């Protein structure tokens, strides 16, 4: 299988009045058609900005270097016009907050159909018919009636379904879902995840699932990449990451996930604070919070090293398999 989307040595930095801030440093990732890649990390770890760069949606003060190729086309060097032929058509994004991500003064039907009208030059009638079809596919009840509704007339869960339908309109090769369930009620979250799983099974698209929630990743992703302070610290199949986590940060994250089968007094946390991107610790960014820290970690940054089964991690500590 060849990768649809390849990210190679991506660095994203933002110029601020207090100096440049690196949000993403030397990140390399790839996704294949039909595959779901989970990208996990805390707020500020750079997981969203990695794909904002791919979509050409960085804030004005942000710059991206490196390479992002969509089916061989370099997205970072593409101009706005070229990008517009790809966005929505071949790579689509589902955003975190469905309550504010739909245009409030446009009817749902029009917001859906305009993607098709723009990219595939269909007429308004066809656009509307396809929009209705898509609303049915994402299981929106009374889809016909919803076409003529405004976003505020729909619940959060329905709006996220509309966002997903919108991303699917042109059947893109890559779908990036940026925290698609974070803003929703827990019961609705499960429904949206079911829907994404269905999309994954029915379409041959590559799905990137950006989240801070390991539970979300476990159910949906084939491979998982873990980011910390703008870098990938571990990457592997979902089975390896959950069963044989090889980076202390990943191990910490998994230990933090509350378990029903183990009786505990208090919730486990990773001690310390997420690092300040403007003033990153020397060496391995995770060392101030790592319980296995040695002197080498403070002066040198560990490179990503390959283990078996495509599993990679960036840590000096000799790998010991700890069953979680």
List interacting residues with another protein (CB under 8 A): 55-57, 80-81, 83-89, 92-93, 95, 97, 100-106, 114-115, 118-119, 150, 152, 163, 166
First to last CA, the chain: 31
Instruction: Provide, rounded to whole angstroms, the least separation between the CB of residue 229 and another protein.
Output: 25
Name the burial class of residue 293, with classes exposed (0-12), middle (13-18) and buried (19+) by CB atoms within 10 angstroms of its CB.
middle
Instruction: Provide, rounded to whole angstroms, the least separation between the CB of residue 153 and another protein.
Output: 8
Instruction: Provide, rounded to whole angstroms, the least separation between the CB of residue 249 and another protein.
Output: 30
Instruction: Provide, rounded to whole angstroms, the least separation between the CB of residue 316 and another protein.
Output: 40
Question: Cβ closer to another protein: 89 or 240?
Answer: 89
Is the distance from CB of 92 to CB of 172 less than 8 angstroms?
yes
Q: Which of 30, 13, 41 is nearest to 286 (CA)?
A: 41
Question: Cβ closer to another protein: 105 or 291?
Answer: 105
Residue with tokens 């729909």: 154
Instruction: Provide, rounded to whole angstroms, the least separation between the CB of residue 178 and another protein.
Output: 10
What DSSP string describes 198-234? HHHHHS--EEEEEES-HHHHHHH-SEEEEEETTEEEE
Question: Cβ closer to another protein: 61 or 296?
Answer: 61
Instruction: Provide, rounded to whole angstroms, the least separation between the CB of residue 89 and another protein.
Output: 6
Question: Cβ closer to another protein: 83 or 207?
Answer: 83
Question: Cβ closer to another protein: 77 or 264?
Answer: 77
Strands 73-74 and 62-70: antiparallel
Question: Cβ closer to another protein: 75 or 238?
Answer: 75
Secondary structure class of 290 (helix, strand, coil): coil
Q: How far is CA 245 from CA 24, 171, 217, 304, in A?
A: 22, 34, 14, 14
d(CA 154, CA 98): 10
């Amino acid at each position: 299988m060849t990768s649809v989307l390849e990210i190679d040595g991506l660095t994203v930095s933002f110029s601020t009045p207090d100096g440049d801030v690196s949000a993403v440093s030397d990140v390399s990732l790839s996704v294949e058609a039909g595959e779901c890649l989970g990208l996990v990390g805390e707020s500020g770890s750079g997981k969203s900005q990695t794909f904002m760069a791919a979509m050409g949606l960085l804030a004005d003060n942000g710059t991206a270097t490196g390479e992002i190729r969509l089916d061989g086309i370099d997205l970072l060097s593409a101009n706005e016009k070229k990008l517009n032929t790809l966005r929505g058509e071949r790579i689509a994004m589902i955003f975190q907050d469905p309550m504010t991500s739909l245009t409030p003064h446009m009817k749902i039907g029009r917001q859906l159909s305009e993607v098709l009208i723009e990219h595939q030059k269909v007429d308004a009638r066809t656009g509307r018919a396809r929009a209705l079809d898509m609303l049915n596919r994402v299981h929106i009840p009374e889809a016909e009636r919803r076409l003529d509704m405004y976003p505020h007339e729909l619940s959060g869960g329905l709006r996220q379904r509309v966002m997903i339908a919108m991303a699917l309109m042109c059947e893109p090769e890559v779908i990036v879902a940026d925290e698609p369930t974070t803003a929703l009620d827990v019961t609705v979250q499960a429904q949206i995840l079911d829907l994404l799983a269905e999309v994954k099974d029915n379409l041959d698209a590559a799905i990137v699932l950006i989240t801070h929630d390991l539970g979300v990743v476990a159910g949906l992703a084939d491979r998982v990449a873990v980011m910390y302070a703008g870098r990938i610290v571990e990457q592997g199949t979902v089975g390896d990451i959950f069963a044989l986590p090889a980076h202390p940060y990943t191990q910490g994250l998994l230990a933090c996930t509350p378990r029903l089968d183990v009786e505990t007094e208090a919730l486990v946390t990773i001690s310390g604070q997420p690092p300040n991107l403007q003033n990153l610790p020397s060496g391995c960014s995770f060392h101030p919070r790592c319980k296995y820290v040695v002197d080498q970690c403070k002066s040198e940054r560990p490179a990503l090293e390959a283990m078996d089964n495509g599993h990679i991690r960036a840590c000096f500590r000799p790998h010991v398999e700890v069953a979680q």
